[in-house]
Amino acid sequence: MSTIIVETQSGFLTESSIDSSVAEAMPGVACCVFAKDIPGSNAVGPITYDETVLADGQVTCVGHIIGAVVADTQLAAQRAAKAVRVQYQDLPHIVTIQEAIAAQSFYQPIRTIKSGDLEAGFKQADHILEGEMHIGGQEHFYLETNVTLAVPRGEDGEMELFVSTQSPSKTQLLVAKVLGVPANRVMVRVKRMGGGFGGKETRTTVLSTVVAVAANKLKRPVRCMLDRDEDMLVTGGRHPFYGKYKVGFLNSGKVVALDVSYYSNAGNSMDLSLSIMERALFHMENSYSVANVRGRGFVCRTNLPSNTAFRGFGGPQGMMVTESWVTDVAQSLGRPAEEVRRLNLYVEGESTPYNQMLDQLTLDRCWDECLQRSGYQQRRAAADLYNRLNRWTKRGLAIVPTKFGISFTAAFLNQAGALVHIYTDGSVLLTHGGTEMGQGLHTKMVQVASRVLGIPCSKIHISETSTNTVPNTSPTAASASSDLNGAAVLNACQTLIQRLAPYKTLNPKGSWEDWVKAAYFDRVNLSANGFYKTPDLGYSFDTNSGRVFNYFTYGVACSEVEIDCLTGAHKNLSTTIVMDVGHSLNPAIDIGQVEGGFLQGLGLFTLEELHYSPRGVLLTRGPGSYKIPAFGDIPTQLTVSLLRDAPNDKAIFASKAVGEPPLFLAASVFYAIKDAITAARVESGVSGPFRLDSPASAERIRTACCDRFTKLCPPADPGTFTPWSVQV
Ligand code: MTE
Ligand code: HPA
Ligand code: MOS
């Protein structure tokens, strides 16, 4: 088996000049692979084919893949790749959202969701305020970087691929397109991933297609696993967002009008950026009822590696801006933020700006339970006292709700399949369309099959996910995999149970194995496939009608922090989460998902900061320069409870999706920090709304605590803290 390594050397060029002669003569090198080696099409992409497998002519970001070197060891391949000489001719480039806005560099369409009468809303308002916020991107930092093993089978153009991907079917289709063969020659297999988090929904094909081309050229198996620095540079991450808002509200704190614009940094290709912007817009009001709204979404085309899905899929960015204006409203009225939040919280029967009626709403129950479990009022009193006694450290609190829409927003993706075999010894092989990435999907699917078939989980096995068992699958994403695949597994298992029923009736005291054997000897088909599609979906932006989501997952978190006003450091003292996941399929998994999602959000909003040079070169390419959460960042007290007695009639066994919704609850930590900063500012005689960008890094916390020392420095430009780095 050979190893391939993709070395990216790029800039902005019109005509690429590549000299690989030295590399090709190096020991162990089998060959180099460039665009000319692609037998099929070099035009790829998950939705629009606006990308190349291997750059041909123009490259549009640092990290764009030009070619690959195949050698007998990873080291030899990496060394040789460094020896390839590439010359570039610089072209003008756009790196930041602000640069894209100035150049009007947007992908089309620009989305709008409008409801009510905005003008009348602002007329009705007692106050109007404006604000803005930037939310930085995020690196997926899955433990396992991107990896593909491609094995040509030597017949009829067949190729078998073992890929760490959330999308076996997308991988199959793109590899087939690139190799110029029908999809039925390409088999993609996924045992499991060492984490995906959305980073392996589409961007995995950036590598898998190249490995397939190399394996096809050499007619030998080729494997490549990216090093961490390459993975961080090449595969993109969460979209940075910039939000600008104007909000109208009454003296009571009730918000009556909202005009908000979102700008995302999509990078050099479309990828999923439009869907991600749509999900941001579908979450622009978070959990609050606003009668008159306009939300607009601009997807910026820039010269960065294409950004992509990341847990929450634009929802967290959308809701982060919401919480910024809620905080501003409270601060401008001098009212506690939790009162303003509670006052504006949705009630049963109200409709979202995209005209979806909210029923079985549990937000108020989550809210009240969280308030009570966290001891909010006592904590508030204690924090106020602490802040009176301490000048240079301050404590802050925030309680933040979330409402996360469950369904792929592209309705056609809401389908799934399953294939179940019963063998004559009674053991069951289960396959379904979803992939396992640590979220416990396979465990839940075995539980579903066990419950329907009426046999213990130990008799059921899932071996892998593959395109030749369940075809045309949607990516394992949108938190909906248990809902979708679970219902497909249920469907298949019900078919089998019906087929076995006569043998059970004949031998009611018999065992599972007896019935299976009897059915087999009676020549009954012991294999069944199952299928499911979510009913009643189909939203249209043109008419702002039709259901977007099957239902919503709700949660509320209350966090308390302490900041050091002089260094900007902070400590996470406590977080209390109440999450409505319906009748949990597996409480141990779901609590793990809530904890993991929350911590990943905590990294996003308080720790993780990508730095780019003004020319768009990613500078943070490893854990040494990019800080992900560690044990010490977990709140000293962290309590997660699942809301009791909240069955959901829209999903399998009354459960709810859990994967992405809890991530946003980490906003409670961010807004607790903002609350603590507010206490520090009050001591300097400063009050009222102020801008705080995400992440709430030490620099931002320090400079926002304005005092006699910060007055000695020039006012900080929110976009730059260091001369060598820009906020993208
Ligand atoms: N949990 C773990 N351990 N690893 C992951 O990669 N991905 C998250 C979430 N939880 C992820 C995870 C994301 S982005 C999604 S969309 C869901 O899991 C996908 O799986 P599900 O649909 O089965 O919830
Ligand atoms: N969520 C997550 N992943 C997706 C979606 C979505 O709505 N649409 C396409 N991929
Ligand atoms: Mo998750 S971002 O939908 O893979």
pLDDT digits (tens, 9 = 90+) for 307-330: 999 999 999 999 999 999 999 999
Identify the pLDDT of residue 17.
80
Q: Identify whether residues 554 and 635 lie together within a single domain.
A: yes
User: For residue 596, how far is its CA from the centre of ligand 1 (angstroms)?
Assistant: 10
pLDDT digits (tens, 9 = 90+) for 441-476: 999 999 999 999 999 999 999 999 999 999 999 999
Q: Kindly write down the DSSP assignment for every residue of 55-88, as one continuous string.
A: --S-B-STT----EEEESSHHHHHHHHHT-EEE-
Question: Which residue's alpha carbon is nearest to atom 6 within ligand 2?
Answer: 408
Q: Is residue 316 part of a domain?
A: no
Identify the pLDDT of residue 721.
58
Q: Is 716 exposed, middle or buried (0-12, 13-18, 19+ CB in 10 A)?
A: middle
Could you identify the residue written with the tokens 């104007």? Answer: 246
Given 479, 500, 533, the domain boundary residue is 533
| Residues within a 6 A CB radius of ligand 2 | 201, 272, 275, 279, 309, 313, 408-410, 413, 475, 477-478
Q: Is residue 726 part of a domain?
A: no
310 Cβ inside 6 Å of ligand 3: yes
476 Cβ inside 6 Å of ligand 1: yes
**Please, what is the average pLDDT of the chain?**
95
Residues 6+ apart with CB under 8 A from 180: 39, 40, 41
Query: Which alpha helices (H) appear in 346-434, and where do they start and end?
Result: 363-374, 376-389
3-state secondary structure of 541: coil
User: For residue 30, how far is its CA from the centre of ligand 2 (angstroms)?
Assistant: 39
Q: Identify whether residues 697 and 585 lie together within a single domain.
A: yes
Identify the pLDDT of residue 16.
55
Report, as an integer, the average pLDDT of 409-426: 98
Is residue 251 pLDDT above 80, yes or no? Answer: yes
Q: Identify whether residues 347 and 493 lie together within a single domain.
A: no
User: For residue 314, how far is its CA from the centre of ligand 2 (angstroms)?
Assistant: 10
Question: Which residue's alpha carbon is nearest to atom 8 within ligand 2?
Answer: 408
Which residue among 201, 408, 658 is best mutated to probe the pocket of ligand 3, counting the most ligand atoms within 8 A of its Cβ? Answer: 201
Is residue 720 pLDDT above 90, yes or no? Answer: no
- CATH code for the domain in which residue 684 is found: 3.30.365.10
Q: Identify whether residues 421 and 559 lie together within a single domain.
A: no
Identify the pLDDT of residue 711.
81
Instruction: Identify which of 593, 474, 515 has the alpha carbon closest to the alpha carbon of residue 46.
Output: 474
Report, as an integer, the average pLDDT of 609-621: 94
Identify the pLDDT of residue 5.
44
Is residue 425 pLDDT above 60, yes or no? Answer: yes
Question: Which residue's alpha carbon is nearest to atom 8 within ligand 1?
Answer: 197
Counting residues of the chain whose pLDDT is more than 90, the rounded percentage is 93
Given 178, 212, 234, the domain boundary residue is 234
Q: Could you tell me the pLDDT band of residue 14, with boundaries at 50, 70 and 90?
A: very low
Q: Identify whether residues 582 and 657 lie together within a single domain.
A: yes
Report the number of secondary-structure helices (H) and strands (E) in the chain: 18, 25
Q: Identify whether residues 57 and 172 lie together within a single domain.
A: yes
Q: How many CB atoms lie within 10 A of CB 339?
A: 13
Q: Is residue 386 part of a domain?
A: yes
Is residue 718 pLDDT above 70, yes or no? Answer: no
Q: Identify whether residues 387 and 435 lie together within a single domain.
A: no
pLDDT digits (tens, 9 = 90+) for 221-245: 999 999 999 999 999 999 999 999 9
Q: Could you tell me the pLDDT band of residue 12, with boundaries at 50, 70 and 90?
A: very low
Q: Work out which ligand 1 atom sits closest to the CA atom of 444.
A: 23
End-to-end CA distance of the chain: 40
Q: Identify whether residues 371 and 436 lie together within a single domain.
A: no
Tokens found for residue 253: 């704190």
- Tally of CA atoms within 13 A in the half-sphere of 371 that contains its CB: 12
Q: Work out which ligand 3 atom sits closest to the CA atom of 197.
A: 4
Q: Could you tell me the pLDDT band of residue 562, with boundaries at 50, 70 and 90?
A: very high
Is residue 496 pLDDT above 60, yes or no? Answer: yes
Q: Is residue 135 part of a domain?
A: no
Which residue among 140, 279, 539 is best mutated to probe the pocket of ligand 2, counting the most ligand atoms within 8 A of its Cβ? Answer: 279
Lowest mean pLDDT among 82-86, 203-207, 281-285, 550-554: 82-86
To the nearest 10°, the Cα dihedral for 581, 585, 590, 592? 170
Q: Tell me which residues are annotated as active site.
A: 660
Q: Work out which ligand 3 atom sits closest to the CA atom of 166.
A: 4
pLDDT digits (tens, 9 = 90+) for 349-385: 999 999 999 999 999 999 999 999 999 999 999 999 9
Backbone angles phi, psi at 384, to 5 degrees: -60, -40
Maximum Cα–Cα distance across the chain: 89
Is residue 421 pLDDT above 50, yes or no? Answer: yes
Question: Which residue's alpha carbon is nearest to atom 21 within ligand 1?
Answer: 479
Identify the pLDDT of residue 3.
44
Instruction: Identify which of 337, 360, 312, 362 has the alpha carbon closest to the alpha carbon of residue 662.
Output: 312
Is residue 717 pLDDT above 90, yes or no? Answer: no
Q: Which ligand is nearest to the CA of 407?
A: 2
Question: Could you tell me the residue range of the domain that residue 527 belongs to?
Answer: 415-533
Is residue 715 pLDDT above 80, yes or no? Answer: no
Q: Identify whether residues 690 and 562 lie together within a single domain.
A: yes
Identify the pLDDT of residue 15.
44
Q: Work out which ligand 1 atom sits closest to the CA atom of 198.
A: 14
User: For residue 155, how far is its CA from the centre of ligand 2 (angstroms)?
Assistant: 36
Which residue among 437, 652, 655 is best mutated to probe the pocket of ligand 1, counting the most ligand atoms within 8 A of its Cβ? Answer: 437
Q: Identify whether residues 570 and 707 lie together within a single domain.
A: yes
Q: Identify whether residues 437 and 355 lie together within a single domain.
A: no
413 Cβ inside 6 Å of ligand 3: no
Q: Could you tell me the pLDDT band of residue 719, with boundaries at 50, 70 and 90?
A: low
Q: Is residue 258 part of a domain?
A: no
User: For residue 641, how far is its CA from the centre of ligand 3 (angstroms)?
Assistant: 23
Identify the pLDDT of residue 89.
81
Tokens found for residue 614: 């003004």
Q: Is residue 442 part of a domain?
A: yes
User: For residue 167, how far is its CA from the centre of ligand 1 (angstroms)?
Assistant: 13
Number of domains composing the chain:
3
Question: Which residue's alpha carbon is nearest to atom 1 within ligand 1?
Answer: 439
Query: Which alpha helices (H) appear in 125-259, and where do they start and end?
Result: 168-179, 205-218, 228-234
Q: Identify whether residues 363 and 506 lie together within a single domain.
A: no
Q: Is residue 266 part of a domain?
A: no
Taking the C-alpha atoms of residue 9 and residue 583, their distance in angstroms, rounded to an integer, is: 51
477 Cβ inside 6 Å of ligand 3: yes
Report, as an integer, the average pLDDT of 256-278: 98
Q: Could you tell me the pLDDT band of residue 615, with boundaries at 50, 70 and 90?
A: confident
Identify the pLDDT of residue 714.
65
Identify the pLDDT of residue 192.
98
Given 211, 234, 257, the domain boundary residue is 234
201 Cβ inside 6 Å of ligand 3: yes
3-state secondary structure of 36: helix
pLDDT digits (tens, 9 = 90+) for 33-70: 999 999 999 999 999 999 999 998 889 999 999 999 99
Q: Is residue 607 part of a domain?
A: yes
Is residue 72 pLDDT above 80, yes or no? Answer: yes
